Amino acid sequence: MDSAMLLLGVLIGCLAGLLLVWYLWRHSGAVEPFFQRLLQQENRAEARIDTRLMLHELLRKVEDLTAKTQRMDMELQDLRERSRYSVPVAAEEPEKKSNFSEVCRLAREGLSADEIACRLQLGQGEVELFLSLERKPDWVVSGNNNQKKTTLNDET
* pLDDT, tens digit, 9 for 90 and up, residues 36-74: 776 777 778 777 787 788 888 888 999 999 999 999 999
Provide the greatest CA pair distance for the chain.
140
Under 8 Å between Cβ of 106 and 127: no
Q: Please report the DSSP string for 46-92 in residue order.
A: HHHHHHHHHHHHHHHHHHHHHHHHHHHHHHHHHHHHHHHHSPPHHHH
Better-predicted residue by pLDDT, 95 or 22: 22
Q: How far apart are CA 63 and CA 61, in angstroms?
A: 5
Arithmetic mean of pLDDT, 142-154: 52
- pLDDT given for residue 71 in this prediction: 92
In the prediction, which pLDDT does 47 show?
A: 77
| Dist. CA 56–CA 63, nearest whole Å | 11
> CA torsion angle for 81, 83, 87, 92 (degrees, to 10)?
180
pLDDT class for 145, splitting at 50, 70, 90? low
Q: Using one digit for the tens of pLDDT, what is the confidence trace for 79-132?
A: 888 887 765 555 445 555 678 888 888 888 888 888 888 888 888 888 888 888
pLDDT in the model for residue 144? 57
Chain centre to alpha carbon of residue 120? 45
Question: What Å distances lie between residue 50 and 39, 44, 95, 122, CA to CA?
Answer: 16, 10, 68, 70
- Higher-pLDDT residue of 136 and 23 is 23
Neighbours of 116 (CB within 10 A): 24
Q: What is the pTM of this model?
A: 0.31
Task: Say yes or no to pLDDT of 133 above 90.
Answer: no
User: Does the pLDDT value for residue 12 go beyond 90?
Assistant: yes
pLDDT over 70 at 31, yes or no: no
